[in-house]
Each structure stands twice: as structure tokens, then as C-alpha cells.
């Protein structure tokens, strides 16, 4: 069980030296108990106390890494129930399901989806992260051959779904990739835990009830296995979500260690309708699955899941921003028009999409306004003439254009005169208010 702040305080040096960044040892102890401080911040904790405090200072939901190298994913380590309290930390891993009843062509197509279906959005790459390889035949040789093929074809991590005999056989060809093995149940926990220990790989548990799951995680923890993932799926989506919430609450609010692990969920088993499956996966990403296993990641379904995931796992207290600088569209040259806007990522992506659609070669200057949109930045004094002019001059854009002419968003037409004064020998033009009017505006300028 987790220690209280007072219990932790009793083990600290009590010198109030402030080196941990807290005014007193008691304040540090309280933060440690609430998982808001790191034990390592106090350099004076004795080794004996360290040992006793390690549990208290561990995250309430363990972080579990699946895979190896650059494509390894970590799930868990969440600290809050609600995204508005603080950001969620490790995005839900999306796994595509491949099983040993599939034809070679189908397996190849799924691997192709995993490796190639991705989107660049607001500076991030959105993609699936794992491949779940399942044995439906219970044929160890067949399963091993499939795991070997999949493992060789992708750098993404693996989830091995099979009985203990099949997993024992197949793990010899992929142990270095640190796959998640699925799943220890009350009937096979000894065999599965032996595989997990021998290969130092994470293990999933599955029980009929949460009590079964607690028994299994306690047994594995007692055996020295720490990297555990919980499958708490129920027959209905509603009950699955109830379990997800119960597990998250028990781990965070009660510091109940036997449920302090990330979860895995299987929307692929909940419906045969691809669109509905995506909807269920999106629900599970929101509440609070660490991994979702889906049957398909074709482009539209992947986009829906990954954009939903991105929205849930971005920091609500920090706007998404673009880097300040010069952006090129449609191969501009010295005679191409120059636009300026703010670095709010949504503004950038809307404006850039319209410029691209116009097919007119164009320069776009993005100014750092701390992630504010045009009107907000203007009213906050960050997208105003005396800030914009020095930025434009220092940006280096004058080396790229022949005529000093710049187009400002229509919403800040009122600053055009002052902006021109600040810029000196530049011409300032007022562009459209709505981004949707940019293509027509640019084509008029280009005479096309």
C-alpha cells in the first residue's frame, strides 16, 4: 500500500535544507505522496529509506514499454483522471490485429497499412504503433512462422496473443523486440510468468472479474514481474468502460497497486462493423485504454483514431504551436506573394492548406505569438505593428523576394497603416478575412 505524507516525512532527514526545491521536508513528503515530486530530488535520503520509499515515489500507474529502439512505445504512467487537471502522458498505443488464419496477401496488406498509413498533422506523425499477432490455430509452428515474418517486416512492437506453448516457441524469434505476451489467466499464470521472466518481456493478465485480475497481478508482482498490462474487457462496451474507469480511479485515488497498470482493450472483438469498431476504439482511447487492438487501420479509420488520440493527449494548458519562420508553398520564387500570420498551429494548418490548394507559389511568414490565433494575438498586443515589423525585417525574407510587399490577414486590416509605417519602404496589403477565400485571392494576384 502507498505511504502517507507523514509516513514518508518520518523517513526524511528533516533538515529543511530546501535543496529539493521545497521549503520543508514535510512539503516534499506531501508532494512525494501525491506523486508530484521525485525521490531523487532529495540527495540526503538514506539507502534504507530509499528502499522503503521507492513504492511511494513510484507512479500510481506503472509505465510499461513495449518494443525496442526508436519505435518502442510506453503506456501507463498517467497521473490524473481528467485531462483538464493536467495533461495525459503516454498516448494509447494502437495495435493492428493479424492472425494465423489470414492469407499471405492479407497479412502483407496489414503490415503495409502499419508501415505506410500515417499522417503529418500539426508537426506530429500520426500512426498506429503495434502489431498484435494472434494464434487462432494453436499450432505453435504456424504461429512462430507468422511472428517471424511480421517481426522482420516492421520495426513496430509486437503483442503475442496465443497459448503459453505457442508463445514459448515464438518468442525465440522476437524476444529482443520486447513483445507484450498475452495473456496470463488463472489457468496458465505459472507458464506465462515463466516466459515473461525468462525473456524480460511485459505480460498481460486477463480475468473474469476485477478480483481475478487483482489476484493475478499480485501473484506476478510477488514473483518479481513488474511490467504488467491489464485486460479488463467485458461483454459490453459499457461494462468495459466501467472497468477502465474503476481501474484508473483505484490506481490514482486509492493508490491501489494491484490495479496500478496500463490496460489493453480489444475493439476488434466487439463488432464486425469497421466504422463502429473505430468509434469504440475512440471511446476507449478517451477512457482510458493503454492499448487498443483493432482489426483495420485503413486510412479514414486510422485518421479518426489518431486525431482523437492526439486531441486527448495534448496538453490542454499549452496551445499547439508552429515554429516561427519562413514557410514555402508550391515552389515560390522572388516574385511570389508573401503572407504573414500567427504560429497557432490550427491557424497555420488552415492557412497552409488553402495556399497549397491555390497552387500559387507563395511565401508564408509565421510569427511567434505564443500560440494565439490572429485576433487573440492582436488583442493581446502580440500581433501588432511594432512587434511584426522587426520580426519581418529580421526574418531573412528580404533575401528571398524582389518586391517588399506583405499581405496581412483581413481580420487585422486596422493595423495595415501602422504596419506600413513601421516597415518603412514596404507595401502592406490586406488579405481575405476567411482562409477559404485565400485561393481565389492568390489566383487573382497571380493572374490565373
Binding ligand SF4 by CB under 6 A: which of 3, 30, 39, 42?
42
Residue with Cβ nearer ligand SF4 (27 or 191): 27
User: Is 362 in a helix, a strand, or coil?
Assistant: strand
Return contacts of 275-280, CB within 8 angstroms, 24+ apart: 275/301, 277/301, 278/304, 278/305, 280/237
Q: Which C-beta is closer to ligand SF4: that of 28 or that of 363?
A: 28
Q: Minimum distance from CB of 58 to ligand SF4 (Å)?
A: 18
Give the shortest CB-53-to-ligand SF4 separation in angstroms: 11
44 binds ligand SF4 (CB under 6 A): yes
DSSP alpha helix (H) spans, 65-171: 104-116, 140-153, 164-170
Q: Is 33 exposed, middle or buried (0-12, 13-18, 19+ CB in 10 A)?
A: buried
As measured in angstroms, the least distance from the Cβ of 24 to ligand SF4 is: 6
Instruction: Give yes or no for residue 276 binding ligand SF4 (CB under 6 A).
Output: no
Under rule CB under 6 A, residue 405 binds ligand SF4: no
What residues have CB less than 8 Å from 395, skipping those under 6 apart? 325, 326, 365
Nearest CB to ligand SF4, comparing residues 18 and 106: 18
The span of 21-29, 170-178, 257-265, 347-355 binding ligand SF4 (CB under 6 A) equals: 21-29
**Binds ligand SF4 (CB under 6 A): choice among 2, 3, 22, 289:** 22
Q: How far is the CB of 253 from ligand SF4 (least distance, A)?
A: 25
Size of the site for ligand SF4 (CB under 6 A): 13
Give the one residue of 2, 3, 8, 25 binding ligand SF4; rule: CB under 6 A. 25
Q: How far apart are the first and last CA of the chain?
A: 71
Of 15 and 209, CB closest to ligand SF4: 15
With left for phi above 0 and alpha for psi between -120 and 50, is residue 265 left, alpha or beta? beta
Radius of gyration (Cα) for the chain, nearest Å?
Answer: 27
Interaction between residue 36 and ligand SF4 (CB under 6 A):
no
Name 232's Cβ contacts closer than 8 Å, sequence gap at least 6: 210, 213, 240, 243, 244, 247, 263, 265
Cα–Cα distance measured from residue 22 to residue 8, given in angstroms and rounded to the nearest whole number: 15
**Is the CB of residue 157 less than 8 Å from the CB of residue 66?**
yes
By CB under 6 A, tell whether 32 contacts ligand SF4.
no
How far apart are CB 124 and ligand SF4 at their closest, in Å? Answer: 37
Shortest separation between residue 34's beta carbon and ligand SF4, angstroms: 15
1 to 20: interface string for ligand SF4, x by CB under 6 A? -----------xx-xxxxxx
Please give the residue ranges that form the binding site for ligand SF4 (CB under 6 A). 12-13, 15-20, 22, 25, 28, 42, 44
Amino acid at each position: 500500500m502507498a505511504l502517507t505524507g507523514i509516513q514518508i516525512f518520518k523517513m526524511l532527514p528533516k533538515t529543511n535544507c530546501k535543496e529539493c526545491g521545497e521549503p520543508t521536508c514535510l512539503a516534499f513528503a506531501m508532494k512525494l505522496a501525491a506523486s508530484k515530486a521525485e525521490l531523487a530530488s532529495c540527495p540526503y535520503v538514506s539507502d534504507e529509506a530509499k528502499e522503503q520509499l521507492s513504492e511511494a515515489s513510484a507512479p500510481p500507474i506503472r509505465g510499461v514499454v513495449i518494443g525496442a529502439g526508436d519505435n518502442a512505445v510506453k503506456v501507463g504512467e498517467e497521473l490524473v483522471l481528467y485531462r483538464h487537471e493536467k495533461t495525459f502522458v503516454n498516448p494509447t498505443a494502437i495495435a493492428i490485429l493479424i492472425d494465423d488464419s489470414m492469407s499471405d496477401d492479407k497479412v502483407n496488406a496489414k503490415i503495409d497499412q502499419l508501415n505506410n498509413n500515417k499522417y503529418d498533422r500539426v508537426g506530429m506523425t500520426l500512426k498506429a504503433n503495434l502489431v498484435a499477432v494472434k494464434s487462432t490455430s494453436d499450432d505453435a509452428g504456424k504461429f512462430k512462422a507468422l511472428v517471424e515474418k511480421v517481426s522482420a517486416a516492421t520495426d513496430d512492437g509486437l503483442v503475442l496473443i496465443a497459448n503459453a506453448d505457442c508463445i514459448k516457441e515464438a518468442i525465440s524469434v522476437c524476444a529482443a523486440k520486447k513483445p507484450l505476451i498475452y495473456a496470463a489467466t488463472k489457468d496458465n499464470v505459472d507458464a506465462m510468468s515463466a516466459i515473461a521472466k525468462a525473456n524480460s518481456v511485459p505480460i498481460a493478465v486477463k480475468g473474469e472479474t476485477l478480483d481475478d485480475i487483482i489476484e493475478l497481478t499480485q501473484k506476478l508482482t510477488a514473483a518479481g514481474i513488474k511490467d504488467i498490462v491489464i485486460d479488463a474487457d467485458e461483454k459490453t462496451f459499457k461494462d468495459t468502460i466501467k472497468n477502465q474507469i474503476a481501474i484508473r480511479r483505484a490506481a490514482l485515488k486509492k493508490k491501489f497497486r494491484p490495479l496500478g497498470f496500463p490496460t489493453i482493450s480489444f475493439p476488434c472483438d466487439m463488432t464486425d462493423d469497421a466504422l463502429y469498431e473505430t468509434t469504440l476504439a475512440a471511446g476507449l482511447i478517451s477512457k482510458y485504454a493503454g492499448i487498443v487492438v483493432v482489426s483495420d487501420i485503413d486510412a479514414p479509420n486510422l485518421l479518426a483514431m489518431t486525431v482523437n488520440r492526439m486531441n486527448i493527449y495534448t496538453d490542454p494548458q499549452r496551445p499547439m504551436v508552429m515554429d516561427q519562420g519562413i514557410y514555402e508553398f508550391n515552389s515560390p520564387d522572388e516574385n511570389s506573394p508573401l503572407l504573414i500570420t500567427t504560429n497557432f498551429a490550427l491557424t497555420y494548418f488552415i492557412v497552409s492548406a488553402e495556399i497549397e490548394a491555390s497552387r500559387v507559389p507563395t511565401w508564408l511568414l509565421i510569427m511567434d505569438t505564443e500560440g494565439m490565433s490572429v485576433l487573440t494575438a492582436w488583442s493581446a498586443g502580440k500581433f501588432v505593428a511594432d512587434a511584426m515589423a522587426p520580426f519581418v525585417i529580421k526574418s531573412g525574407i528580404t533575401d528571398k523576394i524582389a518586391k517588399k510587399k506583405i499581405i496581412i490577414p483581413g481580420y487585422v486590416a486596422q493595423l495595415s497603416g501602422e504596419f506600413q509605417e513601421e516597415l518603412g519602404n514596404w507595401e502592406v496589403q490586406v488579405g481575405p478575412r476567411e482562409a477559404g477565400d485565400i485561393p481565389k485571392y492568390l489566383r487573382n494576384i497571380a493572374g490565373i
